Amino acid sequence: MKRLAIYCGSATPSDPVYIENARFVGRSLAERGIGVVYGGGRLGLMGAVADSALGAGGEVIGVIPQALVDAEVAHRGCTELHVVDTMHQRKQAFTDIADGFITLPGGTGTMDELWEAMSWAQIGYHAKPVGLLNVAGYYDGLIEFVAKMGDVGFMRPQHRNLLIVDHSLEGLLQQMAHHVPSIPIGQIDKKDL
């Protein structure tokens, strides 16, 4: 994996564990020679990932909609900053540029990015690993919900391992390196749909 899309919040929660972890992720990826592809913002966890990766000599590619550039939240120090018109174009660029996805804590925008990466993998738009870094148990409820989708039958057995989860970056990267793509819906035998 040469580049990873990092999905995370543009806010800075009061508990320092989140911002410290974002800095750790940015720095660690740069030290491993893995480029960061992210939302192009300078605030919150997004800015912390970018600043730490840049500070460690890493490549940082930001992809940001014009509306957020106009709101003056763009990170002007990125290795590359791609300005797009829409959020859909932003997410498509993440998929085109990155070799996989890691989700850190965040809010609705982060969830939108994660769910789209997962749904696109299900239907075969990409075959890249989708990782979730469960910092301080932030995603415990989400992990339970994803399991429940499978238990109830809203997630096919072929996709139950689509989301790769770990509480440590090292463990997550190891799992992602051994990722085996799931069978896209279009290739599942019709009787099993």
DSSP string, 44-78: HHHHHHHHHHHHTT--EEEEEEHHHHHTT-B-TTS
The pLDDT tens digits for 66-106 are 999 999 999 999 999 999 999 999 999 999 999 999 999 99
pLDDT at 181 (0 to 100): 86
For residue 38, the number of C-alpha atoms closer than 13 Å in the C-beta half-sphere is: 39
Residue 118: what pLDDT? 95
The position carrying tokens 């239907």 is 123
Q: What is the mean pLDDT of residues 131-137?
A: 98
Confidence band of 193 (pLDDT split at 50, 70, 90): low
Q: Domain ranges for the chain, please list them.
A: 3-179
Helix, strand or coil for residue 105?
A: coil
Name the CATH code of domain 3-179 (choices 3.40.50.450, 1.20.1050.10, 3.40.50.620, 3.40.605.10): 3.40.50.450
The pTM for the full model equals 0.94
